[in-house]
Amino acid sequence: MVMFRTISICLIVFCSSLNFASAQVLGFNLTDGQKKVQIPIEVYDNLVIVPVIIDGKLPLRFILDTGVRTTILTNKTFSDALSLVYTRKYTFSAPGIEKTINAYVTNNVSLDMPGVHGEGHAMLVLAEDYMELSNYLGTPVHGILGYELFSRFIVRINYKRKMLELMVPEKFKPGRKYQSLPMVVQDTKPYVFAEAEMNDSTKLKVKLLVDTGASHGLILEPESDIAIQLPPKHVSSVIGRGLGGMIFGQIGRINSLNLGEYKINGVIANFPDPNSYMDTLKSSLTVFRNGTLGGEILNRFTVVFNFSGEKMYLKKNSTLKKQFYFNMSGLTVKAMGFKLKNFEITHVRKGSTADKADIQEGDLILSINGYDVESLSLNNVIGLFNSQPGRKINMKLFRDGKKLSREFKLESQI
């Protein structure tokens, strides 16, 4: 079953333009003299979630993200509870951001994972939960962990087995079944080259940011190359979410993406609207790229990152050839409430079957195909909405004090 990506997690940047002196203290080490550790992970909407304990006291859950430089805590409430000291405050706005964003820097933070201890880390703390990661993933998420971990260890992500492995570089041997790809690390972020077959007559080499913190499969930026053109069959929709809110663009299907010896057919690609992607933490203002390679493609492999050796290794799993679908319901849903069991529709794609069925933004979901929301997680909802074209969806909704019934069929528009 292919899961509908509720929203690509895209993060506003100013970290990449700041110089945190203490962020250079890469304090992660494996405990008890170990050479490698294995850590169970959870995968939600193609994103890897790991357990992290801050200052030995507060157990939280962070997204593992190759696209960010400095550790991020998404809500100041947690750092206040630990009485962390803030050394700087930042207030900023940017194109596409409707409100002012406040963030703080705290230094000398300890970060622990099973078998891993880190000292002396800088952490960026958002004043409020601007990104609503928990709401759009349907599971508690409190922060983002990035370059400081990847730069220290060889990092293996086994999406199929839901296992993260960290090992010291001198002990790493890739294994015969892995495809080796050259990877360049620029401004703390990893990039690989691939071949995008846009259609039967257009192929081009593309430089892609490898972004484990993005749930989409592929973003291509039309302004980076004249050969990157929208497919004739495409739809306008939400393609991500940043600190400033939803990011819009066009979505279409390209013939294939070639990563080394692997040819991935029928890839769904996101084409951001002009300037809509300027506010993401994924972009470096100084590094050229054609787009981003995200979790919907990465999760078809076991992926190994060797930042110090500038290589990425891929080993396919059983999902490599599964078909790509894009949001066959046309609905973006957010989980709310203490248990994340209240589901609100936050966006309805114009022209989708849900739109034609008079489902509206702000509607609350009471049940889907007879399943009460109390028995569902957001992952279940996503799965039902992206199970197969033609499937009938019956929904009970609550709107303006009234209960409503709506019915539509899942439809692939691209």
Q: Where are the alpha helices (DSSP H) in 269-413?
A: 295-298, 353-356, 378-385
* Residues 162 and 19 both lie in one domain: yes
Please provide the average confidence, as pLDDT, over all residues in the chain.
88
* Residues 95 and 114 both lie in one domain: yes
* Residues 403 and 263 both lie in one domain: no
Tell me 298's DSSP state.
H
* Full residue range of the structural domain in which residue 338 is found: 331-409
* Residues 238 and 362 both lie in one domain: no
Q: Which pLDDT does position 308 carry in this prediction?
A: 94
* Residues 207 and 153 both lie in one domain: no
| Residue 40: inside a domain | yes
pLDDT tens digits, 57-101: 999 999 999 989 889 999 999 999 999 999 999 987 655 556 788
Name the one residue in this structure whose structure tokens are 């702000």.
362
Largest CA distance in the chain: 63
Q: Which pLDDT does position 326 carry in this prediction?
A: 85
Counted domains in the chain: 3
Q: Which pLDDT does position 98 carry in this prediction?
A: 61
| Three-state secondary-structure class, residue 24 | helix
Q: Which pLDDT does position 27 carry in this prediction?
A: 83
Asked which of 288, 316, 344 is the last residue of a domain, the reply is 316
Element (H, E) at 365: strand 364-368
Name the one residue in this structure whose structure tokens are 């033609």.
390
| Residue 6: inside a domain | no
* Residues 338 and 401 both lie in one domain: yes
Q: Which pLDDT does position 91 carry in this prediction?
A: 87
Mention every residue, 6+ apart, whose C-beta is less than 8 A from residue 164. Answer: 38, 39, 40, 41, 48, 50, 64, 155, 156, 157, 158
| Residue 325: inside a domain | no
| Residue 5: inside a domain | no
Which CATH number goes with the domain that contains 393? 2.30.42.10
Q: Which pLDDT does position 1 carry in this prediction?
A: 25
| Residue 187: inside a domain | yes
* Residues 127 and 30 both lie in one domain: yes
User: d(Cα 166, Cα 153) in Å, to the nearest integer?
Assistant: 6
Asked which of 105, 135, 169 is the last residue of a domain, the reply is 169
Which CATH number goes with the domain that contains 140? 2.40.70.10
* Residues 47 and 133 both lie in one domain: yes
| Residue 323: inside a domain | no
Beta-carbon count within 10 A of 18 CB: 16
Q: Which pLDDT does position 273 carry in this prediction?
A: 85
* Residues 214 and 88 both lie in one domain: no
Q: Which pLDDT does position 3 carry in this prediction?
A: 32
* Residues 21 and 165 both lie in one domain: yes
pLDDT tens digits, 106-164: 999 999 999 999 999 999 999 999 889 999 999 999 999 999 999 999 999 999 999 99
Asked which of 142, 169, 196 is the last residue of a domain, the reply is 169
Look up the pTM and report it.
0.90
| Residue 68: inside a domain | yes
User: d(Cα 303, Cα 164) in Å, to the nearest integer?
Assistant: 10
Q: Which pLDDT does position 327 carry in this prediction?
A: 85
* Residues 69 and 113 both lie in one domain: yes
pLDDT truncated to tens, each residue of the chain (414 aa)? 223 333 344 444 445 445 444 444 458 999 999 999 999 999 999 999 999 999 999 999 999 999 898 899 999 999 999 999 999 999 876 555 567 889 999 999 999 999 999 999 999 999 999 889 999 999 999 999 999 999 999 999 999 999 999 999 988 888 889 999 999 999 999 999 999 999 999 999 999 999 999 999 999 999 999 999 999 999 888 787 776 667 888 999 999 999 999 999 999 999 988 766 544 444 455 689 999 999 999 999 999 999 999 999 999 999 999 999 888 999 999 999 989 999 999 999 999 999 999 999 999 999 999 999 999 999 889 888 888 889 999 999 999 999 999 999 999 888
Q: Where are the alpha helices (DSSP H) in 63-210?
A: 76-81, 133-137, 147-150
* Residues 108 and 22 both lie in one domain: yes
What does the block give as tokens for 93? 């706005």
| Residue 353: inside a domain | yes
Q: Which pLDDT does position 97 carry in this prediction?
A: 57
Cα-Cα-Cα-Cα dihedral sign, residues 351, 354, 360, 362: negative
